[in-house]
Amino acid sequence: MTYSLRQISRHNLNTFRQNYVSEISGSLGDLGTFLPIAIALAVNGTISLSSTLIFSGLFNILTGLLFGIPLPVQPMKAIAAVALAQHFNNGSIAAGGIFVGACVFVFSITGLLRWFADVIPIPVIKGIQVGAGLSLIIASGSSLLSSLSWLHPSWADNLIWAIAAFIFLLVTNVYRTVPYALIVFIIGLIFAIIRSALAANLPSLELWHPGVSAPTGAEWARGAINAGIGQLPLTTLNSIVAVVHLAGDLLPNVHTPSITSVGLSVAVMNLIGCWFGAMPVCHGSGGLAAQYRFGARSGSSVVFLGALKLIIGVFFGESLVNLLKQFPSAMLGVMVIAAGLELASVGESLNTTGARDIGKTFHGLLGGEAMQEVSPMLSDVDRKRRWTVMLVTVGLLVGFRNDAIGFLAGMLCHWIYEIPVVIEEVKRRWQGRRSVRLE
């Protein structure tokens, strides 16, 4: 273990020294998902922004040091959606996060997570990843960008800036050394500071005062039943199983963390942070794709981000809410689109040697060179069946906006395709036993 940590530390340090601009840029890639949810929950008084920044920052640092990959610390989206819709208080959202953390902890130590990962076919896993990517793009278009017009809501946040940010994103697909996320974030932050200054509402020094949020009986029931149960499939599939597979696909030369270790990480984060008013968090494949897309290749990127969050949370905390509300939705929205495109691109390798159950690793359509050769082990029928299973998973996940429904539909499609194989196997065994009896 010591040697492993030493290797990870060396990898982090060497990568940051050689590509510090890319690592810093990549560390900001997931802010398009993190900021809108954190701001919305903080404005409603559902979470403490300072506690969220501090604990997510600590978890960023620890995951970067322990795993050596740009593993994100993201909001639990299903819990956040229910919390916003039902106006949760701090106790209710904490109960939801603690419930999910406890369940994932049990799944991890009992080996259920490893079993779960082993029995899920690759087309279903890739379907979850592609569906999550498309969901990010749809969410960006329907929420962050839908309210924009050519010149409104302000000079710093409108369709013109969104189009400019998107064109810049396309350009950086050609010139990949350009730190897209870093440049866009700095421009957006400057705009937010100017808008806050004009409104005389700049952040002030406000040291963190920690407080414990212990849920009551009614809050336990509300948080666990209304939000926690719906979050469990999303966390298990997208934040643990899919993120481990994606890490192996995007970073084949770096040691991929195990299913159990990622599961324990998710569990510990929520079993600690939620008691202090922090937002329930997980490790999402969308965040990993986003940070990879914008240049992150090691844990040093999230260590940098974590240190930044920690300092800001301790010294500014809740006073940042109004500043972050001024950050242009146009730029956040395009960053979310970029993350969605990167995540959805992994589906291209379904029937190539990039699929884990076929051969070599694929780097991602937007994340490097794509391998186009098809394994001779797959027939045309096999390729069509795998593609259909993935599309069923994607279609129902996106259509119903529910990872669990997409997963169940994909598994059902896979099992139905397996019926002829099972029948043939039963026939073979029956004939074998019959021939033995006749002899």
Residue 263 is which amino acid? Answer: G
Listed in sequence order, the residues at least 6 apart from 217 whose beta carbon sits closer than 8 Å to its beta carbon are none
Listed in sequence order, the residues at least 6 apart from 263 whose beta carbon sits closer than 8 Å to its beta carbon are 104, 105, 107, 108, 113, 240
The answer to whether the pTM exceeds 0.85 is no
Domain ranges across the chain: 5-347
Q: How far apart are CA 265 and CA 101, in angstroms?
A: 9
Listed in sequence order, the residues at least 6 apart from 322 whose beta carbon sits closer than 8 Å to its beta carbon are 196, 199, 201, 203
Question: Token match 């990010």: residue?
Answer: 136
- Residues 153, 307: contact at Cβ < 8 Å? no
Residue 68 is which amino acid? Answer: G
- Per-residue tens of pLDDT for the chain, all 439 residues: 445 788 888 989 999 999 888 899 888 877 777 877 888 788 778 888 889 999 999 999 999 999 999 999 988 877 887 787 678 889 999 999 999 999 999 999 998 888 877 777 888 878 877 887 788 788 788 877 888 899 888 898 999 999 999 999 899 888 777 777 778 888 988 998 998 888 777 777 777 777 787 888 889 988 888 878 777 877 887 788 888 888 888 888 888 888 999 999 999 999 999 999 999 999 987 788 888 888 899 999 999 999 999 998 888 877 787 787 888 889 888 887 877 787 787 777 777 755 666 654 433 333 333 344 444 567 788 888 889 999 999 999 888 877 778 888 998 999 998 888 778 877 777 776 766 665 5
Task: Tell me which residue of 335, 332, 312 sits closest to 55, measured CA to CA.
Answer: 312
Q: Report the length, in residues, of the chain.
A: 439
Q: How far is CA 325 from the centre of its chain?
A: 22
